Amino acid sequence: MSSRNLFPNLVIYFSSAHYHVLSGLFLAFDVYRPKFSVDSPYIIDTYRNHKDFLYVAAGLWAVCRSVQITSISYG
């Protein structure tokens, strides 16, 4: 019995779709909830409301992303 019979290709697509759809929904629910709205007291007059925070966070993300991409070995 081969591994192809044990784990058919259709199961891979279903498993991946299931993972991505649910993680997207859960992430969207958390990010777009009222706690993070523009006029929320959780955001107003805190470091999250300053442009510098956004620039630093985006810069750190870009640096970490570039390090991750360049550290992958394709050989």
Burial of 40 (0-12, 13-18, 19+ CB in 10 A): middle
Q: What is the mean pLDDT of each successive set of 10 residues along the chain, which is 75 residues long?
A: 63 76 87 80 81 89 77 58
For residue 23, give both structure tokens. 């993680």
Q: What is the pLDDT of residue 38?
A: 75
Q: What is the pLDDT of residue 1?
A: 53
Measured CA to CA, the distance from residue 32 to residue 20 in angstroms comes to 18
Secondary structure E strands in the chain: none
pTM reported for the whole predicted model: 0.41
